[in-house]
Amino acid sequence: MILDHFSGPRELSYNYLDIAFSPYDDYWKELRRMCVQELFSAKRVHSIQPIKEEEVKKLIESVAESASQGSTVNLSEKFLALTVSVICKAAFGLSFHGTVLNNNSFDKLFREAFLFLGSFSASDFFPSGGWIVDRLTGLQERRERSVRDLDAFYEQMFDLHKQENKDGVEDFVDLLLRLEKEETILGNGKLTRNHIKAILMNVLLGAISTSAITMTWAMSELTRNPRAMKKVQSEIKNQIGNKSMITLDDIEQLHYLKMVIKETWRLHPPAPLLVPREVMSEFEINGYMIQPKTLLYVNAWAIRRDPETWKDPEMFLPERFMDNNIDAKGQNFELLPFGSGRRICPGMYMGTTMVEFGLANMLFQFDWKLPEDMVVKDMDMEESHGLTVGMKNDLLLVPVKYREH
């Protein structure tokens, strides 16, 4: 079932649906509370700011090198590498970008996991016989291989972790392993090794591609819309002046940049169908009775391009957020980049600061142009497919350094 609009008073209907379709027991509640406290809180996000600064500095240096040679930069790859490094260092105390594990590069492992998570699976729709179709299409085999590889990756990461984490500081993985060892009860169950892997999987998949996808779409929309590009760069230049790098505090003054990001999320939600829900108890919507166990998708992509809600929905117009209070925190259902309700993205604050910080610095340090042989109308804005949706083909731009320090 796909929900692409809400009838009746929106808040009421969504709250009612949320209770009916978001699995949420005491164990889950406790686990989520712990993750939010340990990994996603504003305090934690501020404490990892030096990691972000270090990684953004490295990114600036590598882009500056391309700028000095007049060569093209693959921004899709650069933004992905940035988020992999920041998230892995923040969550695991280690960086895996470029690492080869079990003959598989870390990046490939996760791309593959994303692809199969978002692919059509017949067994989701036909539980009794769909698995035969999944076997015939090869999906089942790929899925099993991917799960095996990921499992091996986690085990290897736990080992590496034990060796490398000698500084006595307990990070997120240490904490989970300690809770497992102490047989801590969370809600009504113990934290097992499998649960730890599932939590890490959720964090990695939730965190990595979403932030990178947002930055890439934002840069491609700005390149297609030189007026918006000029405006956002002027704002940054005027507000920041001569500093060598933008800080997290500076971002608060960058109102147009924030509008650019919201507009990017409106046109290109990184998770267009949010995360699938399973109906817990029977409920009625638009005269249809929906039965327990029905798989339910919220079509956030369609909601954000609805002409009844948005004027000129296909146009990239950051100014549309100037005179309203629409934010991305899950209360305005016309814009749900982080979902809403009980399963709303817990990494919302971390994701937003990552995107703002990465983009602001790339726009502050460089001007950007298309490769020599390309004009705006040649830009390929086709979407990829999967649980998260980025650009199908990588974004290649030429940086022009306009700041000298």
Q: Which residues bind ligand HEM (CB under 6 A)?
A: 87, 202-203, 206-207, 210-211, 214, 270-271, 274-275, 337-340, 343-347, 350-351, 355
Pick 275 or 381: Cβ nearer ligand HEM: 275
Pick 67 or 318: Cβ nearer ligand HEM: 318
* CB of 372 vs ligand HEM, minimal distance in Å: 32
* CB of 132 vs ligand HEM, minimal distance in Å: 30
Pick 337 or 390: Cβ nearer ligand HEM: 337
Selection from 87, 96, 106, 97 nearest residue 39 by Cα: 87
**293-29-3 Cα angle (round to 5):** 40
| Interatomic CA distance for residues 374 and 204, integer angstroms | 35
Main-chain dihedrals φ then ψ at residue 400, nearest 5 degrees: -125, 115
* CB of 238 vs ligand HEM, minimal distance in Å: 26
* CB of 237 vs ligand HEM, minimal distance in Å: 25
Beta bridge partners of 25: none
* CB of 373 vs ligand HEM, minimal distance in Å: 32
Q: Tokens at residue 349, please?
A: 């604050």
* CB of 81 vs ligand HEM, minimal distance in Å: 15
Three-state DSSP class for 394? coil
Pick 140 or 361: Cβ nearer ligand HEM: 361
CB 248 within 8 A of CB 49: yes
* CB of 343 vs ligand HEM, minimal distance in Å: 4
| Interatomic CA distance for residues 231 and 242, integer angstroms | 18
Pick 66 or 76: Cβ nearer ligand HEM: 76
Pick 18 or 77: Cβ nearer ligand HEM: 18
Q: What does DSSP say about strands 2-3 and 295-298: parallel, antiparallel, or unpaired?
A: parallel
Pick 321 or 338: Cβ nearer ligand HEM: 338
| Interatomic CA distance for residues 342 and 361, integer angstroms | 33
